[in-house]
Structure 1
Amino acid sequence: MIVLMAALDAHGLIGNHDKMPWHVPEELAFFKLKTLHQHVLIGRETWEAMESTLPQRHVHVLTRNPDYAGKPGYEYIETSLQKVIFNWKPQAQPLLICGGAQTYEQSLPYADELWLSLLPDTYEGTVFFPKFDEKDFMVKEQIRYTKFQFFRLLRKKKGASL
């Protein structure tokens, strides 16, 4: 199962260059809860821009460089998004795709679910979550927290196949 997981503002903003334009501890705690002990795929640039590693997660770094030896803390190097999706799509255990923008854009057609934390405010930034047709998804779960709302969206029809 392929899941795209992102926090975004009211305009779909997810970043400002290589940084998050907000600091919302409640949403960060939610991210930690949802990703602990899970397989998480992150693009190399996003991985290197993160201020910390993601302990207690199985981190896959997506990079074109098969000899990548950058920031430590990952378990797997992935050089082909298509191969990762092909291997994970039929599995019940989710692969949580957590950025960046290029990785979201390329994997969106294959996503079975979107896990979106929507922040009510607007921020300044340069990087946006890719546009998608909301009619292709149905809201399976919606939870209102103090500082954000979480939406779990299920694709109505199967995503694109490889």
Structure 2
Amino acid sequence: MEILLIAAIAKNNAIGKDNKLLWHLPDDFKYFKAQTTGHYIIMGRKTFETFPKPLPNRTHIIITNQKDYVVPENCYIVNSVADALHLCEEHQQQKVYVIGGGQIYEQMMNVATGLEITHVDVTPDADAFFPQIDPEKWQPVSVVTHAIDEKHLYAFNITVYKKK
């Protein structure tokens, strides 16, 4: 099973503050939607709660310690990263995406088979961070660049990494 961490990260590895994203990048959102649609997505409870409703055409796996946490249809609750991965295996998923937050990325970094990272050219104040990408373990295999334009306040590169 492919386990892919997908995130947009700043130069200082920032991914969020006060449970909010740090930027609005429509073309990055389009990439995220194109990659994750039709797949299982794994996230922490706080990440799930940032959505007004579940993302369409994706099966959500929410990791939480809260008992009796209620979720809509097409969502699963588990208590650990191991349980999330086990559920994906039981459902015979070939590819799953981990979409946040910082603690979940940290726990999944060693089991991930690939990273799909939008590197945003900014260094914001933040309280949630993506783990350091170790160049000894991860090799970039493709990069797509995006300049600042009327819809994007920041330049960014979407880089796909494979484990060495």
Among the aligned pairs, what percent are the same residue? 29
Q: Which has the higher strand share?
A: 2
Q: Residue 82 of structure 1 corresponds to which residue in structure 2? A: 82
TM-score between both structures, scaled by the size of structure 1: 0.85
Q: So what's the TM-score if we normalise by structure 2?
A: 0.84
Distance 1:20 1:118 in 2: 14
1:154 aligns with 162
Q: Deviations over 1:70-111 (max 9, x none)?
A: 5x365211222113335657x672110000011011111111
In the comparison of the two structures, how many residue pairs are matched?
Answer: 155
Counterpart for residue 42 of structure 1: 43
Shift of 1:65: 3.3
Where do 1:12-91 residues align within 5 Å? 12-65=13-66, 67-70=68-71, 72=72, 74-86=74-86, 88=88
Taking a change above 3 Å as real, the CA distance of residues 144 and 97 of structure 1, as seen in their structure-2 partners, is same
Corresponding residue of 1:159 = none
Give CA-to-partner distance per residue, 1:4-60, whole Å, 9 cap, x none: 111011111100121111111111111111111111001001111234431111111
Counterpart CA distance in 1 for 2:93 and 2:39 is: 12
What is the rounded CA distance, in whole Å, between the counterparts of 1:139 and 1:61 in structure 2?
A: 29
Structure 2 runs not aligned, ≥5 long:
148-154
- Matched to 1:148, the amino acid is F
| CA root-mean-square deviation | 2.2
CA distance in 1, matches of 2:70, 2:139: 40
State whether residues 40 and 93 of structure 2, in contact with CA within 8 Å, keep that contact through their aligned partners in structure 1: no
